[in-house]
Structure 1
């Protein structure tokens, strides 16, 4: 039994591979595009987060239907019992419930991060020649837009049912600005959990355990002076209480310098502590 083998010389091929020198010259002949800066890379990833909402509009449920439900439910359930009327209670409640709702929806940042990790997307990000924190910062910048949507929706509902901000447009803008800064900083906690925990359900479970005590044990619903002394000590020093008071007073036309300082101070601490831990986990994972 014999086998016939057909061979072709390299010279018989129609295509001849370029030599090493020619290939190197071809690669370096064109000018390389400049490396994107930190801000440019972060905005790109922020736009990516917004495109995900475009393709899955159901993600807007937590910044539209959920805030409306929170405002209406708490106003009409507790307004008469706590303040005597809905009109009186909405003046106190709306800035607080606005703070509470936005802080609560920050946990979805960690869920999104964990979801991308499970799909292997972050492995691709790590190979890119970009500022290393850009994917994380981009997530948070994209979510700030969601927080703004939730704020606008809640304010619109509040105005319809009787809320009147005496601080006018300036007070509203300043109050929302303080809330956005704190929410951006607070979201770093969930990016850490998104990297640390294995599943989305774990991230949501831990987030609920942290968020519910922080938001309910605050001055969102009632004045802390009606609480027991030991509880007042905790509530009066809660970061959510300082943010809620700052938003409430700014929208009322006042200037709560101490609460604004506390809110911005807490924001700086959260970014430094949890931002550092997040990036260490991101570099290791």
Structure 2
């Protein structure tokens, strides 16, 4: 219980820091709304015939895309603590080694939840209507948050090995853009070249977007892509969590 209290305190520290960084707060609020509005009104007519028809398709995709981009700030904040010597102070405190990492990821879950809620509110204001049930919607939120927790370990590793916070953002966004856009998050897979469709269908971003779309709109199956998304999340966590802890211990040992 003491370790849990320490983790919650460190998570609260990460959340309070957002108030001092208005640009980061904009990335959690303005950026996802901007992406949704741009995709909806710029591409909606070309892809679905009208923005109204495209909204039900693109909203789950934007939620998934924004979830991945928000995880970059886990690595960014961690690297900031490392480069500024904050982790040296953590090592001197009687807290578990994993508490700072767990607190950072827990804070990210709260931020992810706020982003999802904000996008859903904007989506409803733009005309989105839930075609399944509120239980399915909550299942979608839980699925996206579960994947966010797993994928955060990837950004923890990037945050540990990067030289400075700017390199974390550069690498994170550069790597995420092609993975996100070469998926079914924004366009149907059957509109892509045949040689590309196999990769898109196996892309975890596509699987998560399809699962979210099925849970929100009843468009296509939801159970199979949801199970594959959970399998991807488990695999990512099993690989990158130990690597992140190992890389962090090596960096702290080097001083």
Bin the TM-score by the shorter chain.
over 0.9
Q: Distance in 1 between matches of 2:166 and 2:24?
A: 17
- 2:107 aligned partner: 142
Of the structure 1 ranges 55-64 and 108-117, higher mean CA displacement relative to structure 2 is found in 55-64
In the TM superposition, what whole-angstrom CA distance separates every residue of 1:146-183 from its partner, at most 9, and x where no partner exists?
11111111111111111111123222211111001101
- Give me the TM-score of the superposition, normalised by structure 2: 0.93
From 217, 220, 225, give the equivalent of 1:252: 217
From 47, 57, 66, give the equivalent of 1:101: 66
Q: Distance in 1 between matches of 2:89 and 2:247?
A: 16
Q: State whether residues 213 and 222 of structure 2, in contact with CA within 8 Å, keep that contact through their aligned partners in structure 1.
A: no
Within the alignment, does 1:168 sit opposite 2:133 as a pair?
yes
1:58-73 aligned at under 5 Å gives the runs: 58-73=23-38
Q: State whether residues 67 and 101 of structure 1, in contact with CA within 8 Å, keep that contact through their aligned partners in structure 2.
A: yes
- Give me the TM-score of the superposition, normalised by structure 1: 0.84
Within the alignment, does 1:41 sit opposite 2:2 as a pair?
no
- 1:77 aligned partner: 42
- 1:113 aligned partner: 78
Q: CA RMSD in A?
A: 1.5
Distance apart, 1:113 and its partner CA: 0.7
From 87, 90, 94, give the equivalent of 1:125: 90
Within the alignment, does 1:195 sit opposite 2:149 as a pair?
no
Distance apart, 1:210 and its partner CA: 1.2
- 1:278 aligned partner: 244
Distance apart, 1:59 and its partner CA: 2.6
Largest Rg, 1 or 2: 1
Distance apart, 1:58 and its partner CA: 4.2
Distance apart, 1:209 and its partner CA: 2.1
- 1:178 aligned partner: 143
- 1:229 aligned partner: 194
- Give the count of matched residue pairs: 250
Distance apart, 1:36 and its partner CA: 2.2
Q: Which runs of 5+ in 1 are unaligned?
A: 1-34
Q: State whether residues 92 and 248 of structure 1, in contact with CA within 8 Å, keep that contact through their aligned partners in structure 2.
A: yes
In the TM superposition, what whole-angstrom CA distance separates every residue of 1:241-274 from its partner, at most 9, and x where no partner exists?
1111111111125762211111111111111111
